[in-house]
Amino acid sequence: MRRLRRLPKEVKALPLCTVLEERMKEFRDSIPLFADLKSDALRERHWQKLMEMTKKNFDMNPKTFTLENLFAMELHNFAEVISDIVTSANKELNIEKGIQEVVDTWNVTKFTIHKWVVEHKHFVGSSQSAHS
């Protein structure tokens, strides 16, 4: 982008230069999206929602899910949608982890049960007056 900006005005005025600048901006804007899409928080439901919202089909086959195909989908046009879904997925993952921590804690927690025998009737925490 810097090199392009340094070119003479005559070169920058060419249609090819305009197209090249637009492609480089698309690439620059797409890089954070690719990082977002790599998130481990994304589950099948999130991919389905992404496909629904973007009207793009994400073929998750590693042989066909290439960088070239990602660029062809023009995902930079859906940056906000992708960001929202990935943010939600990350929050859901944090909740799932928190729930799992609670489950794990309770699974290893042991209680000692003691038999409680009441020999005299007493009211704990209350007083009795002679007038009652």
Q: What is the pLDDT of residue 125?
A: 52
**Does residue 20 sit within a domain?**
no
Measuring CA to CA, how many Å separate 40 from each of 86, 89, 93?
10, 9, 9
* Token representation of residue 56: 């793009």
Q: What is the residue range of 80's domain?
A: 28-100
**Does residue 66 sit within a domain?**
yes
Cβ–Cβ < 8 Å for 42, 84 = no
Which tens digit of pLDDT belongs to each residue from 79-125? 899 999 999 999 999 999 999 999 999 999 988 887 777 676 655 55
**Does residue 71 sit within a domain?**
yes
**Does residue 87 sit within a domain?**
yes
Task: Report phi then psi at 117, rounded to 5.
Answer: -110, 130
Average pLDDT, the chain: 83
**Does residue 11 sit within a domain?**
no
DSSP states of the chain as a string?
A: -HHHHHS-HHHHTSHHHHHHHHHHHHHHHHHHHHHHHT-TT--HHHHHHHHHHHT------TTT--HHHHHHTTGGGGHHHHHHHHHHHHHHHHHHHHHHHHHHHHHH-----------S---TT----TT-
Q: Domain tally for the chain?
A: 1
**Does residue 94 sit within a domain?**
yes
Which tens digit of pLDDT belongs to each residue from 43-66? 999 999 999 998 988 777 777 777
**Does residue 109 sit within a domain?**
no
What distance in Å separates the CA atoms of residue 81 and residue 77, rounded to the nearest whole number? 9
What distance in Å separates the CA atoms of residue 71 and residue 13, rounded to the nearest whole number? 25
**Does residue 13 sit within a domain?**
no
